[in-house]
Structure 1
Amino acid sequence: MLARAAARGRWEAVYDDVRRRHAEGQSLRRINRETGLARATVRKYAFAASVPRNGVREPKPSMLDPYLGHLHVRLDEGCENATQLWRELQGVGFAGTAKQVRRWLSERRAGSAKTTIRSSPAPADIRIAISTASPLASSKQLSWYLLREPEDLDPEADAVVARVLQDPEAAKVVDLGRRFCRIVRSRCHTPPSGRSDVTAFDEWLCEAQACGVRIVENFAASIGQDGDAVRAALTLPWSRGQAEGQITRLKLLKRAMYGRANLDLLRRRFLLAA
């Protein structure tokens, strides 16, 4: 619930920012470029009379609601064993599953459970820090946080990222992701910088292919197979975007006409569409 409320607050702030920029006379293209929002989102927010609610669902009542008081008390006491908490709730009438308790608990602790069979309870200061920590954002919002530069994050997002970076493997993935984004953004927003962009890409590629994280290594290997095209994109002023877009549009027309007309009608439709 806290995560949903925080997400609604963030989107309301984005909506207010877009409306303010548009009222000041900024073009939609400029707002898109400066905020990093999708063009469709910028257009929708700029002309909406209030914050669009599409895709935003209000939280539904949960079976855990009557037992939240007990759960918060036990969490403050340092109990982070979901199975144990579930059994305690069963004793007072809870009819749900252990998975529901585990999901609720996973959003409210920063690390793994401290009260397992083979480990002692966490110190009081750690328990307090865990119990007061805000839940992590959704996977989509979290990926957006992790790929942005630290100076572009607000205090709430910066705190969430700091929690993620406590894990060494996650910190390595975040660093590689941010460096890759810097290479692409530097090419997109500034004139071609020549050899320096290619050198940075080659260094990143070598490091990513040997980072020890399989999903990143697979991503780097797939990029490496088309490395010449990436290097050309970083150094040359031309783009194949227009050509690829026209090819895609013609393929769509061809597939829409498949089995419905002869070649003469298909040719006429292509010429009219062009």
Structure 2
Amino acid sequence: MREALQRLLDRLRPVLNALLPTTFSAKPTEIPVLRHRPHSPAAETIRQAGTQQRKALHAKIQHLQNQKLPIRTIAHELGKSPTTIYKYLAMSEFPQKIVRKHLTSILDPYQDYLNQRWHEGCRNARQLWREIQQRGYPGAYRQVSRWVYERRPTPAPTTPRKYLQEDSYGELELNSTKPSLAEPGLPVARRLVWLFLLPVEKLDQEEVKLRQSLLKHAVLQQDCQLVHDFQHMLHKREAHQFTDWLQACQASNIPELVNLALGMKKDQEAIQTAPSSEWSNGQTEGQVNRLKLLKRQMYGRAGFDLLTARFLRPP
């Protein structure tokens, strides 16, 4: 179910990007980020090489698919799994790097104070660090130093030469990369899919807004409704509705759901029996989880005799 919805999100990505909500502007008192610390040359080379390899793989898969080759043949020729081939085929275009949303920082409770002191003219990272320490800041100086570095318009007089570079006019500036000004794009499908699988009350305000915007797409809305119907059917143990649900999936004309329904129809009897049966493999899965936990706790520190004693001992 999750994989079918994920493939649909990959296929609809170009259209869904147009439905993204308008981003909120920064607060008037918030200091804008002017730069980011640059990647090392080696790390940047590796990152770009990986991107080019994935782009080339995407182009090869699309080219072979246009030649009407079977999925297994494409997978064998490229040395990839069929799952990878299906994933790339679901992408009508190679996904561009997105601007990640702000993650929670240990500095967040002190942002207002830092912005206030910045407007008052304080540019000394160590001084700011001492002041917020008195207000309960538990973090290290490095976090505050990075905050100042990203917002400083000009280098400090004490900045070492190795951290400076010349601009196009020959003036010295901080060695950095400019922040991306592109609009935030959609998260990757494997993360985006949870917006539609989790209950709304488990999403934050920004995720709810994104979910509502994307559900304006009729196909995605229809798909999510069928997914929720299946979840409801399992939770309420209403196995008698499974046949009707399969027919609704096939009538939806959504390729991902049609293929899912065809696969489920082969195991229809087992799927219908599972919700109504008192038996499950929960006990087996619990024992497997216990054995794995014990093994990992004792890895490299226990011999076979001790492992045997712990594994075979009654819980």
Same-fold status (TM-score > 0.5)? no
State the structure with more CA Rg. Answer: 2
Give the TM-score taking structure 2 as reference length.
0.34
Which structure shows the bigger proportion of residues in helix conformation?
Answer: 1
Q: TM-score, normalised by structure 1?
A: 0.37
